[in-house]
Amino acid sequence: MKLIAEHLAVDRGGRRVFAGLGFVLPAGRALVITGANGVGKSTLLRTLAGLVPPSEGLLALEGGDADRSLAEHAHYFGHDSAVKRALTVLENLEFWRDFTAPVRLPGFVGATLAPREILDRLGIGHTADLPAAYLSAGQTRRLALARLFVSPRPLWLMDEPTSALDTASEAQLLAFMNGHLADGGLIITATHSDLALSPAGVLHLAAPTFPIAGDATENITVEEGRS
Ligand SMILES: Nc1ncnc2c1ncn2[C@@H]1O[C@H](COP(=O)(O)OP(=O)(O)OP(=O)(O)O)[C@@H](O)[C@H]1O
């Protein structure tokens, strides 16, 4: 399984955010997207998640399920935790489990945990029957993270995944992410933190020094390593 992006261009609000972007990410590897504020990291993740349409280019998951879109292979862990405040914590997870079809593929054995089990592992088991509105910012973030485990999907798209997490939760998140890679999953994450993901490459997005009309590959650096 590998994720392929070729000549990707995305426009938002009538303005080209990036163009000429390409990478190949094989199963079991992470791609860390870096770059200054506003350069397009979240936009790239939202495009991969099917939330923003690309203006140009190709996105494909080779070895994926041909009956599903790329977005249906992915969990998107974005800035907004997308937690339903009126539902209990457990109801949020049960909804997500029932709403999100699991994806199982040769070479990918994603962890599937029962909602109560992952809540316990993330240290918020005691909140299971509370309305999600009562959770603190860090607890809400952990609930959003719990969703990745109730329905296995190979591609994790993670936007600033460590935000609002304390040091212990950050270390646990890193262990989960490395576990997902060891299971044959793929991770693309935008972060300003130095996450010790292994193996990982870096995709650096740089602000264009000229108005982008078409190809802007000069503004994109893919660096392998961190293995
Ligand atoms: N809904 C939108 N409509 C129009 N423009 C948008 C929209 N969302 C984002 N943009 C613009 O797209 C550009 C890229 O934004 P994006 O959020 O992808 O940056 P980022 O690299 O993730 O930034 P940060 O590090 O601050 O999170 C910015 O110029 C932003 O203003």
Q: What is the DSSP string of 23-92?
A: EEEETT-EEEEE-STTSSHHHHHHHHTTSS--SEEEEEEETS-TTS-SGGGEEEE-SS----TTSBHHHH
pLDDT at 209 over 70: no
What is the predicted pLDDT for the residue at 219?
A: 47
pLDDT of residue 225: 52
39 lines ligand 1 (CB under 6 A): yes
Q: What 3-state DSSP class applies to 161?
A: coil
pLDDT tens digits, 15-45: 999 999 999 999 999 999 999 999 999 999 9
Ligand 1 atom, smallest distance to 205 CA: 21
Location of structure tokens 């996105």: 59
Residue 13 CA to ligand 1 centre (angstroms): 10
What does the alpha-carbon distance between residue 155 and residue 223 come to, in Å, rounded to a whole number? 20
pLDDT at 224 over 90: no
pLDDT score, position 87:
98
CA 72 to chain centre: 13
Average pLDDT over residues 153-162: 96
Round to the nearest angstrom and report the end-to-end CA distance of the chain. Answer: 19
pLDDT at 220 (0 to 100):
55
Structure tokens at 215: 């190809």
185 lines ligand 1 (CB under 6 A): no
Ligand 1 in reach of 43 Cβ (< 6 A): yes
40 lines ligand 1 (CB under 6 A): yes
Q: Is the ipTM of this complex over 0.90?
A: yes
Query: Percentage of the chain with pLDDT > 70?
Result: 91
Residue 37 CB contacts under 8 Å (≥ 6 apart), including other chains:
none
- The residue among 83, 48, 26, 41 whose CA lies nearest residue 200 is 26
**Residue 48: pLDDT above 60?**
yes
pLDDT score for 173: 94
* CB of 75 sitting under 6 A from ligand 1: no
